[in-house]
Structure 1
């Protein structure tokens, strides 16, 4: 059975005068470059129903879309089922990517509970059966995509690239990272990108770590409940709170401007033991979520091998 059967090819947008709100929003999502800012702004005004500029805006939309045509209208409108399926696959891809990077730092009780969950025993956790033929399509469309990147109109020749670009934009997933992960799933022998927290600490790369954490924080995928037995909500919690544990990072600041806290300076000053230190930090964040915080006595009293600890109850609260 074709694993890509749920991905339908795109169709042209209908004339702007008869377009639904969803189709107008679809146009706006496509228009995310400065070169087509006027088109994007016209779509936004039409979306909010600005009657004073309606006729001029519709004309601007028509003229821009006509400029994209080669041998017919540009096929840019993906149906809901296709976008949903693609979104779910990207969610799983990023959840697995988070899992492999956080797994060795998770508290022992989380790991033990994960081993008992059915999702830890799936045969294809990365969904390679989906990504291998998907990557084959990307390879077949690579020349057309390169033409688009050089400013030429070959939109109808690379629908797979357009779908991936659309969903990366919607889910704030880094394009280069998404392509690298897809390639890992599709091509034997390809390694995952290097992105271990310890590598940044050993290199004393404050900005690199900040950018890594921002990517994780901005890409929260929750279309599945568990990945390899670990709750995706739990992974999302770590990804949301690890930046604030290490940086002063207001929402409106670029990661290059994040200010390291003393905790991060201490981690980067270590000569060894970086992995254990990150694990302890993750444990503290876990305590904060499950127990509402813990003082030093609580942390000293926590023993992963203590039979008296009701781990199941703790994990129920965590997930």
Structure 2
């Protein structure tokens, strides 16, 4: 996926490939600007002006190039999205209940307003909003941040979609409310057997929610593995850096290890591996050759052998030189 700009073509997403089944959660993690959000927004037809190639199939139906009217019928009913900022996603001039009612009646035209209103109240109660029969007539600004996010989840689940895309749904919430929202989403996912794509930069959220994790960097997937495999045996140096930059919960007084440098410009990405300017393990080959995603169940786009990450840069270089 690319965006033409006056300064050149921004190659926002390249080589993206994943699948997610019902009842399973795929976590997509990476720094801001790595392509997490736009890759999934493209599936929903929300990236106007982008040049898109490739294939995205939902239950055998091709989403890329799908007619706008057909895609509108799919959005909300079978594929729903929970956005990062519910205050900008909910219309400020309409009550929360009215917006849920409209969603229901658009996709279920035989439903009366009274039936849809009752349905909306039931959905608000399902996500834990107190006095839903009264709050259904409140406007978004009358809800707290956590309640607005619950209302967005209620709207997303109103028609029991088969896939939910949650784009950083807890970023603006405090830790207590964040935990409540994550618990709510996990419970509702189990109840409705929904497939979930969770987009976040928070590795703690991924540890709680995901079955499989996809790490993105500079618009490309660089590591894909089951959650426990990725957390306990990470391979790509960028993934290792992300994990080392998470504060310890054991009480140990250790300095954080930030990933040095800045993400590259997607207008002019570096040659070879995009991470090589920031990588402590960099070798000459990294600067010239682009590593493909390699492996069977644990995929990684890195020229390092699987058993050298964690040895340290010097030991890794020695091991690599010996093996070559």
Instruction: Report the TM-score, using the length of structure 1 for normalisation.
Output: 0.29
Specify which structure has the higher proportion of strand: 2
Specify which structure has the higher proportion of helix: 1
Instruction: Report the TM-score, using the length of structure 2 for normalisation.
Output: 0.29
Which one has a bigger Cα radius of gyration?
1
